[in-house]
A and B are shown apart, each in its own frame.
Chain A
Amino acid sequence: QVQLQESGPGLVKPSQTLSLTCTVSGGSISSGDYYWSWIRQSPGKGLEWIGYIYYSGSTYYNPSLKSRVSISVDTSKNQFSLKLSSVTAADTAVYYCARIAAVGPSVMDVWGKGTTVTVSS
């Protein structure tokens, strides 16, 4: 079955750019049946949806983060990536990647295990 795995640095300095990659296994990111998404969860807080990308490269970003966020896709590697610029301590969170069905109910039915990113000098 499809599995997602986040990877990237666990520690980022303030004002720098956070970069994470999600590797998709057991299925093709180019299937067209899904959007590929990033979600984060700050310590002790709820879930915040960051945005998604389609295999074609079309994206949607949460307006709350839009000025700092970029999501890209590499279909040859079956990966998609998140970049968040000018980070502060408020960006410290567990970052999840997930797939969202493109047809029918927009459910996030497969999630990665999450990766913790701490913003600190």
Chain B
Amino acid sequence: DIQMTQSPSSLSASVGDRVTITCQASQDITNYLNWYQQKPGKAPKLLISDASNLETGVPSRFSGSGSGTDFTFTISSLQPEDIATYYCQQYDNLPLTFGAGTKVEIK
């Protein structure tokens, strides 16, 4: 299985701050990486596919980059409604695997 290592596991930032989350794959996954947002008590929501492709309707303050083994997810200006846990997920190989998640809180 491909292991996905996310960091940090949690972070606290102020409204308007730039927030960055990293995800490292245990082997080269090209750009076969998605990012999801999960709010408490809700199902995950797809935000970004193919490492950097923003899904329709997702605010432009969200972005993703990277290829190979190292990926980055960024919120350019943190908003109160962005409080959630964010997960990366690879689809280069089966089984599909997720990172452990990054919980984002407001300072």
Contacts and interface: CB of A to CB of B under 8 A. Distances in A.
Interface of A: 46-49, 51, 60, 62-64, 96, 98, 100, 105-109, 111-114
B23 to A, nearest CB: 12
Contacts of B96: 49, 100, 106
A114 B94 contact: no
Contacts, number: 55
A46 B98 contact: yes
B44 A105 contact: no
Given A46-B101, A47-B87, A108 B44 contact: yes
A63 B53 CA distance: 30
Contacts of B95: 49, 51, 60, 62-64
Contacts of A47: 44, 87, 89, 98, 101
Contacts of B55: 109
B95 to A, nearest CB: 4
B97 interface: yes
15 contacts: A46-B100, A46-B101, A49-B97, A62-B95, A64-B95, A98-B43, A100-B96, A105-B53, A105-B91, A106-B34, A108-B36, A108-B44, A108-B89, A109-B46, A114-B43
